[in-house]
Structure 1
Amino acid sequence: MMELTRKPTRQNTVASITGAVVALVVIGSGSPAGGLFGLVGLGLLALGLHRGARLAVDFGGGVLFIGVILGGLQGLSPEATVIGAVGTLLAWDLANSAVELGEQLGRETKTDRLEAVHIVTSLAVGLLSATLGYGVFIFSGAGYSLGVAVLLILAVVFLIAGLRSSEPAAA
């Protein structure tokens, strides 16, 4: 019998890093401080995925999200802020999934279909939430202010909390 490698799965790892890079590029294009935090967050996320360490993945996602917040506060457009937030959410969610699947099933187990469904579902939830939030922003006519940026960021935080709390408990 072959010993399982308890490392994060490859497909979710690649998708997670892709989401983080998208977030970094968008944030870094309009905010040097946000880009710096984004770069550190990407590095921590990649380290966590390499080692299979949840704590590093969580810190990486958090630091990347701080980069999004800084970018929004430093005048990043609402569109870029939303794209950065969705990329960050996807990166963090998929990285956690990669680590969990690796721990439970091992890297060698065929999980391509499961991972593809998770990636598409997470992307759909992120894009739908971003579209709805951005639609409210556009149709409110309030214009772009610090309050609106904070509310957009809080919406993403609540979305993340909702996604994490809806996961079934481990048996």
Structure 2
Amino acid sequence: MSTQTPTQNLEAVDVDHSPTRVSSLAAVAAALIAALTSAPFAVLAVPLGFGGLAILASGLFGEPSRARVTLGAAGLFLSVLVAGGFGTPAEVLLISMIGTLLAWDLGQHAIGLGEQVGSHSKTQRNEIVHASLSAMVAAISAAIGYLVFATAGGGRPVSALILLLVAVVFFAWALRT
């Protein structure tokens, strides 16, 4: 009769807590879209956009770092602002901004899943659902933002302000879920 308890028979399991692959790839793809849509319109946006892309990717595929993902997304955001300052069409800026938001959100999600369950767990379904819902929220927010832009151009600032507040409330609610 063995005197070992069940816990003595267990072997140590090494869990890889690096960011999950699907969300990491989707975040880098979204960042690439953001950089490509803002960079052609302003030379000053090129280093911000592609620098942000590189920093974001290093936070996902190098040493995992939420700070680098956020810093990379901030570079992409500055690229969008610079491109907007140089007269980039609003539609292009919205696409670039959607890419920036998705890059940040998906990058943070990849790191969070990696920390919680490990990168080798079966999380593809969760990642695809998260990415799809994030893209839907970003697209709806962009549509509301574009509606504000179009309304404000028509000389109706009160209605534009109301729509802007609705967009901000919707976006804040979406980030909390």
Does TM, normalized by the shorter one, top 0.5? yes
Larger Rg computed on CA atoms = 2
Q: Counterpart of 2:40? A: 29
Bigger drift between 131-140 and 67-76 goes to 131-140
Q: Counterpart of 2:15? A: 4
Task: Could you tell me which runs of 5 or more consecutive residues in structure 1 were left unpaired when the two chains were aligned.
Answer: none
Question: Structure 1's 116 and 19: CA in aligned 2 closer, same or farther, altered over 3 A?
Answer: same
Once residues 169 and 48 of structure 2 are traced to their aligned partners in structure 1, the CA distance between those partners, rounded to angstroms, is 22
Q: Does 1:56 align with 2:68?
A: yes
Residue-by-residue CA offset, 1:9-53 (whole Å, 9 max, x unaligned): 001011101100001110011111112200110010001001211
Q: Secondary structure at the residue paired with 1:137?
A: helix
Once residues 164 and 125 of structure 1 are traced to their aligned partners in structure 2, the CA distance between those partners, rounded to angstroms, is 7
Residue-by-residue CA offset, 1:48-91 (whole Å, 9 max, x unaligned): 00121111111111111111111111111111111111100000
How do 1:1-171 residues align onto structure 2 when only pairs under 5 Å count?
Answer: 2-50=13-61, 51-142=63-154, 158=168, 162=172, 166-167=176-177
Question: Structure 1's 78 and 24: CA in aligned 2 closer, same or farther, altered over 3 A?
Answer: same
Q: How many residues align?
A: 158
Once residues 58 and 175 of structure 2 are traced to their aligned partners in structure 1, the CA distance between those partners, rounded to angstroms, is 25
Question: Structure 1's 52 and 163: CA in aligned 2 closer, same or farther, altered over 3 A?
Answer: farther
Query: AA paired with 2:117?
Result: L
How large is the RMSD of aligned CA atoms in angstroms?
Answer: 2.5
Task: Could you tell me which runs of 5 or more consecutive residues in structure 2 were left unpaired when the two chains were aligned.
Answer: 1-11
Question: Structure 1's 99 and 133: CA in aligned 2 closer, same or farther, altered over 3 A?
Answer: same
Contact conserved, 1:89 with 1:160, CA < 8 A, in 2?
A: no
